[in-house]
Structure formats: C-alpha cells, structure tokens
Chain A
Amino acid sequence: MRLLKQKILIVLLGVYALVFGELFLRALAPQALMPRYVTGTEWGIRGNVPNAVYRQKTAEVDVEVRINAQGLRADRSYSMAKPVGTCRLAFLGDSYFLGYEVAREDGLVALVETGLKQAGYRVEALNFAVSGFGTAEMLILLNRDVARYEPDLVVFQWHASDFDDNLRADLFRLQGDALVPGQAVYLPGVGLRDTLSQFAAYRWLIANSHLYTAVREKAGRFSKDLLAKFRGGGVVSVEATAVETHRRSLAAALLAEGLARAEAIGAAWRVFEIPVFGTRTRITGFFENLPLTRAVRTRATSAAGVLNAAADVGTKLYFERGHRHLTELGNRLAAGRLVADILIGNAARLARCRRAA
C-alpha cells in the first residue's frame, strides 16, 4: 500500500512538473508553435499531409496553413491537365517556398503568381514545397509527381541548409563527377510521426504545447551537436575541406540534374536562392561559391542582393522570434526579384500565355 502511494506520488509529481514546465514557458519563454504535417508518399520521400489544416503561432504571427488534397499549399485543387491558354509554374522547395509564418497570399509563390498576372500573363503557380526538403528530394518529386501537371516552368528553391539535407538524404551520390542514385527511400521520422498522429493528444501537443515544442527543438539541436562533436573530434582541416568540397559538388550536380530533368519533361527551369539570415543587416548568399555548370548558372539567381539592398536595423525581412522565415516584406522583395528574373529569362516560354494588350 505504501509502495503504491509512493508510486502515485511520483506520477503526480511528474505530471505536475510537466504542467509547471508548460506554464513556465508560456510565461517566460513562449515558443514558436510550428507543427509540421508531413507524411510518407508513394515515391519514397516526404510530402505534405493531404487536406491538412493547421496554425503556426509565434510571438510575431498567427497564420493558417491549408494543404489541398494533392499535397500542395493551396485553397483549391488543380486538374492534371493545364487550362487552355494558361502557363503553369511549379515551385519546389522547403518551408521558405511553402510560405511558413505567412498567410498563403503573402507567400513567395502566390506573390510571383500575382506579379506575373499583373505583368499580363495567364499563369498558375503550383506550390509543391515541403518543409525540410533538399534538392535531392525535389528531383524525385519532379519526375514522380510534378511532371504530371505539365509545368511550363519549374522553379527550384536553393538554401544553404540543402548542403546538409542532400548529404543526409543520400538519395543521390557522387561517383567521380557523375551523379548516381543512392538509397530509394528517405523518410526521416515519418513512421513515428504517422503513428503518433493517430492520437488526438499528440496532435494537440504539437499544435499547442510550448513544452513539447521546446523539448523537441532542444532534443533536435542536442543530438545534432552531439553528432557533430563525435564526428568532428579529431577531424583535420584537410578532411573538413574535402567534406566541404564534396557537399558543394553534390549540390551543383543535383542542380544540373534538375535542369536536365525539367528539360526532359519539356519545361523550362530556374533555381532561386533564399539566403541565410544572420542579423537584420547581415544576409548571406552562398550561390556564388557553388561550382555550377554554365547552363545552371544562367538560370540561377538569388534573393540575397535585393534583400541586402533593403536591409536595415529598422527593417524586418525575416521573423526573428520564430523560425527565421521571410516576412511579408521579405517575401514581397524576393518575389519581385524572381518575377523580374522570369520575365527576363523565360519570357519566350511564357509568350503563349500573354494576354493581348
């Protein structure tokens, strides 16, 4: 009986600690509640959960993310066949293109669509972005899913996080200079998340609990640090340089493959960089340092220039208390740049969709 009482007391104290932690964080360190609704797809990579509707709540924003039945961020479904006289643009990227922390209409993809319409084009912008994606996953998605929608222009997003994402995914490898297929399936954490998502309590936690969010973030960073510590121990600079060179070569090869695959399905192709935000006035692009082929380089542009031009201590281009995604202003500036790039680089391809003046 006494043992039972002790056990009950321990459980109660444990539950109390959790409640205490939740209240502590809400009062002193509110977390950015940014649940990710991703699941496995039939082509062995992650995809947005179809028909998912969820909110992202941070100290700076409270927005709804709505995924359509096809796994795209959209308020409606799209037919596979293009509407007559309309050009289709397919955007592949991670949470930046997906438009995390902003409403759909303030996201970069929607703004590009609006910009091109205002320039006199009948276009549809399909947002295929999935949070956490790297270039390797975009390649798979392009062939297995995007191609079915007959895009005229495919836009890949590039971000410095892709260096590591591509290596981790191991969907493609470099053998000498040649890109070869790697593992067939890359579904990190998806099985566990799918299982847990069946429970209402888990769904409530990921959408509402500051403690759960904070622990998840900490645990993620902790395990990454731990891995880096053990992997990094004793690594000499020559090896580190070799790893760096390998990551850059892999990134460049994947982008070249993106161009080739887009052309193979009859679409034009571009890649657009979202830079890394250090501080309000320190925004860094990495594109210039990639060993891109000439063909890719002519189709590659970065938002770094336009964002740096607008950077100022009083200007907020990315969310500082959330997950550092572009603000409405940041998205508008980046979209403006991309619209200009498309109008210069892909005008011929879109000519058939131009409305008569």
Chain B
Amino acid sequence: MLFNSIEFLIFFPLVLAIYAALRPTVMGQNICLVLASYFFYGWWDPRFLVLIAVSTTTDYVCGMIAGRRTVGVLHLARAGALLASLLGVLALLGVADIGLITALVVGYTAVMSGAVALTAGLARTRRARMFLGLSVTLNLGLLGVFKYFDFFAESFAQMAAGVDWEPGFVTLDLILPVGISFYTFQTMSYAIDIYRGRLQPTDRLVDFAAFVSFFPQLVAGPIERAKDLLPQFAAPRRLEAGRIKSGAMLFLWGLTKKVVIADNLAPIADAVFADPAAAAPGAMTVAVLAFAFQIYCDFSGYSDMARGTARIMGIDLTLNFNLPYFARTPSEFWLRWHISLSSWLRDYVYIPLGGNRGGVVVTYSNLMVTMLLGGLWHGAAWTFVCWGALHGAILIAYRLARIDDWLAVAKTGGHLGALRDAALMAGLFVLVCVGWVFFRATSLADAMVILRGTNLNLTNSPDATVFFAYVLPLVAIQVVQLRTRMLEFWRPLPGFMRYNLVLFLVFAIIFLGAEGGQQFIYFNF
C-alpha cells in the first residue's frame, strides 16, 4: 500500500480510530499495530508476510539467547503461534496450502526448539554467539536468496562463459519482497546490539513483532534501532492534538515532495535514461539534475511521511534526511543522506572492520568495503556497485586532501566562509550527481553515454523550464531550513500563516501533483 494512494487514505484513519480506542492497554495497541502492519504489507503480496514472521520469531528467540536469557517452552510456543496464525490466515485467503503450512509451522518450531534444547548445555557466551550467528545467517540468507542469488549466478555464468565453461547454474527468478533490505537490517541490528550488551532483549513477542513490522517504516525505512524504537512500544501511547497536528504537517510536507516534485521530475529523467543515445546533451544534464532531486524528494518525502504517520500514533522515528545537498564534504553528506542506513553501515560494518584504527591503508580499504556494501545494499547490479565504489573513492580522496580536518579549524561565518562553503557544496553536488548517473542508469554502458554527453548548454532541453519551476522553490525553502536550522520550518509560523501553508500544500498536492500514484523508488531496494 502506498502512502500516496486512496487505499491509505481509508486505511490510516480506520487504524488510527481503533488504535486510539485501545489506548489503555499496551498489548491491545501493539496487537492493533501488528495486524495493521501485516495488512498494510499484505496488500502488496500476502505471501511474503511469511518472511517477516520468520525473521521476527527467529530474532525474538535469538535475541533472548544472545542476551544470555533462558528461552522456555512458552517463548517457543508464542513464536510458533505467531507463525501458525499468520499461515492460517494465508490459508483462509487461499494463498497458501494447508499441508505446506502445517509442515512449515511444525518444521520451523521443531528446528528452533531442537536448536534451543541441543545448545542448552553450552556455556552462555558460546550459545549466545551461536544464536547471533543464526540470526545473521537467516537474515543475510533471506537477502541473499531473494535479492542477490540471481545477480551473482548470472555474473558468475558470464565470467565462466569467458573461459568456455558452462556451469549448470539456474536463476531462481524470484520476486524481490518489498522492504526486505530494511527489515532484515533492522532485526539483525537488534540481535547484534543484544550480543554486544548494548540492549536488553524483550520477551514480549507482540512488542517485538510491532518493532519489526511497524507499517510506517516497514517497506522503506528509516531503519530503526531497537534501543530507540522498542521501548516506545512498551508504554501506552495517547493521541495528542499537538502530535497529530505536527505529524500531519510533516506528512503533508513529505507528500508534497513526493507527488508534486519527485513525480513531476520523474518523466524528465525517465525519458533520457530509457534511451540515452537519443537524448540531446543539454537534455542529459537536465535529466541527471532532475533525477538528483527526484530521488531526494521521493525518498526524503517517504521518510517524512513515515515519521509523520508514526508521530500521529505517538511514536518517534529517526531523522533520515537532513538537507544532504548542502553537505560540503562526503562525510557530511553521509551524515545527512539516508542517515539510518549510513549509520547502520558505520556501526555494523565499518567499525567492526576496524574503522580508522588500523592505519591509513586499512582505513581506506574499510571505507571502500563499506561503501561497496552500501551500493550493493541498494540492488543487485553492477551499476550500484560502481555507485558505491565511486562514493568510496570520493570519501578517500577527501580524506587524503584532509578537507574535513581543514574545515574543522577554518573560520566560520563571513562572506569568505560562505563563499568557500558554497563552492564546496557545489563541487560535492557535481560528484554526487555523477554517482546518480550510475545509480539510475540501466547499464554501465548507458551511464558512460550520459556522462560523456552532459554539458552545460541547457537551452536545447525542452524540460529545463519544468525542472527549474519545481526545484527552485524547493531550494529556496531549504535555504530557509538551513539558515534557521529548523527542518520543520513551519513551526515558528503564526497560526494564520501556517493555515495558508497548509492550504498551499493541499492545493499543490491535488492540482499540481502528478497523477497515477507512482511507486516510491526505494520500494525497489
């Protein structure tokens, strides 16, 4: 279900009404959230709810053991019951076979119970490590099978063909389950944090299921950390007028970015990236710029809508975007762009690899590995690998030039400082745009055609005016956001001005928004 759809317009108020009515009981509210979230996700394809449920129950048990807790029959029964009830509903809907369901529930419960029982005699730390391994293996396994298997199998087959060898590989041709990269990373971090002693496991399965499947951020993030989100499910939430107003405003702003800006810029980028060879050079430049703002407004718009929806329900989600195109250096960029993923990669890849503790060469190779994995996280394609490699190279180049160090001691403020910052922002923006070419292109060859073809002569692009008409007002607002250091720039406005802003956004969404309710780009990842 999309935030920008009629279905969501009906779904959300209904859920909110039930959720509000259940306020006195935490359990009731969380059951409501889990059911709503499963419905929200199942609207797309109910079969893949099984993956979420398996990931949930496994990490629930693994988390307990990784936290050196005792897992009893009751815990296993709860996990089995969640899986059984979901599969039962799927059987009723006719999307799953009853025999297969029974086999799955019995088999899964038996394997988990067996694993718990067989390891009961082991030392707690060793057992914790084993179950952490199980959690990581399962989540990466799901990702590997559904997202990467075909890519690596095809790439291997192509390489093998180069030496006249035909391996008997077959591709699985699986559909990529929406949001799999987001919720697997979220649940993995839960088990890892517990193992590291940074988080206490929960034995309340419903709370944990709500944490994994919370519908506002289930399919495209932000990737939440359990230490931030899980405690919020342990307390009753009240619907407060202030939070509803501010959440609705944030949702409205996100929706505006998505349907008014991103969806109207999309055709400009799509036309050129679909057939770069046929595009005029100026049109290529406009298309690259259009995509840079399309993806920003699409994804940050989604994140704002997710945060707004959650805020209305009394839950605070992590900030995921903080004016990334105003970053002066790549390290600043990654502190502002898809913050929940870049911080995840920092905490669970870069730092465990050694971070910057192993000398210059090790630091740079750690950076490159982290960025390559970040690229691959977005999709199984060489274009994403190149995108990651390019960003790794940019990070390394800026570090070599010690630009962050220079900025840390450089004078702030003044005309010269502003000029310097503007130049750095512009320079980095160009590099980021080069990255977007690889990110958006359907092949490396297409990316090269576009990179070779772009120039600054925008006059031969019929879409330049449309591009500027949508982007310039956004940039103006972002300058205000930057100067006031207030992303929710409407907060200080007096009531009547805010009413005018609401009217403006509502009319813009209705009358300037692109029609058709386009999907979010990050649903593909």
Contacts and interface: CB of A to CB of B under 8 A. Distances in A.
Instruction: Give the interface size bracket for A toward B.
Output: 10 to 19
Interface string A16-47: 01001100110011000000000000000000
Kindly state the interface size class of chain B when it binds its partner: 10 to 19
A349 interface: no
A25 B511 contact: yes
A214 interface: yes
B500 A24 contact: no
Given A13-B499, A28-B512, A29-B512, A21 B507 contact: yes
B6 A24 contact: no
A25 to B, nearest CB: 6
Contacts of B508: 24, 28
Contacts of B512: 28-29
A21 B503 CA distance: 8
A355 interface: no
Contact of B6 (A20, A28, A214, A226): A226
A28 B515 CA distance: 17
Interface in A114-143: none
Interface in B487-525: 499-500, 503-504, 507-508, 510-512, 515
A29 B499 contact: no
Contacts of A226: 6
A13 B507 CA distance: 15
Given A13-B499, A20-B500, A25 B507 contact: yes
A21 B511 CA distance: 10
B6 A17 contact: no
Contact of B503 (A20, A214, A218, A229): A20
A79 B96 CA distance: 73
A218 B510 contact: yes
A88 to B, nearest CB: 44
Contacts of A13: 499
A300 to B, nearest CB: 34
Given A29-B512, A226-B6, A24 B499 contact: no
B517 to A, nearest CB: 9
A20 to B, nearest CB: 5
Contact of B507 (A20, A221, A229): A20
A226 B517 CA distance: 13
Contacts of A21: 503, 507
Contacts of B500: 20
A16 to B, nearest CB: 8
Contacts of A229: 6
A231 to B, nearest CB: 15
Interface of B: 6, 499-500, 503-504, 507-508, 510-512, 515
Given A13-B499, A20-B504, A24-B503, 12 more contacts: A17-B503, A20-B503, A21-B503, A21-B507, A24-B508, A25-B507, A28-B508, A28-B511, A29-B511, A29-B512, A214-B510, A214-B511
**Chain A to chain B: the 7 pairs with minimum beta-carbon distance, closest first:** A24-B507, A20-B503, A29-B511, A21-B507, A17-B503, A214-B511, A29-B512
17 contacts: A13-B499, A20-B500, A20-B503, A20-B504, A20-B507, A21-B503, A21-B507, A24-B504, A25-B511, A28-B508, A28-B511, A28-B512, A29-B512, A214-B510, A218-B511, A226-B6, A229-B6
